[in-house]
Amino acid sequence: MPLHVVSHAVAEHALASLRAHQTPPAEFRRLARQVSLVLAAEATRDLSVAETEVETPLEGARVKRLEGRVVAVPVLRAGLGMLDAFLELVPAAQVGYVGLERDEETAVARTYYEKIPADLDEAAVFLLDPMLATGGSAASAIAGLVDRGARAVRLLSIVAAPEGVAHLEQNVPGTEIFTVALDRELDARKYIRPGLGDFGDRLYGTP
């Protein structure tokens, strides 16, 4: 399974403040968007393009434009913090949603909402889930997308744990993972260490 740890000075600078516990929600949202822009740019680097021609103010020029469908699927609710950045780069992308809730006792995720565009077989599909911890939620979402016809899914996570990467490798081995940081481990509560806390809570200022 390809794991892409994206090394970018701007993303690493933003991640430093995302980790800091004193960063307020408004700043956290801005930084999450900044990091997501970098991840999205890297993950969409090889999207299919077609050559065409435009008229510049001086002459005709051969150019390339994106072709083919792109589908972005944020995992509710934390993944919404990455969606605007992705759509800034690929505004024509279709958007689906997957709602997953993790049982705090068992760390097993259950799906409570799903709205996905049809006919994914010819689309480039990107799952937006900022924290890859156990990998259970991401694997469940990816399996659901594959069941709907997706040939390959790329996962964008701001921070990942080795255990989550290993879980995806075992259960959905065709998945490409793009992350800014591969952290040390999961703790007994299945939180990423050093991590940055609960992403959704910090994004929206909820306890």
Active site residues: 102, 106, 198, 201
Main-chain dihedrals φ then ψ at residue 172, nearest 5 degrees? -140, 70
Can you tell me the distance from the alpha carbon of 49 to that of 46, in angstroms, rounded to the nearest whole number? 8
Check: CB of residue 186 under 8 Å from CB of residue 193. yes
Check: CB of residue 54 under 8 Å from CB of residue 63. yes
Main-chain dihedrals φ then ψ at residue 100, nearest 5 degrees? -125, 135
Q: Assign 3-state DSSP to the chain and report helix, strand, coil percentages, each to 5.
A: 35, 30, 35
Can you tell me the distance from the alpha carbon of 29 to that of 80, in angstroms, rounded to the nearest whole number? 10
Closest C-alpha to 139, from 182, 172, 179:
172
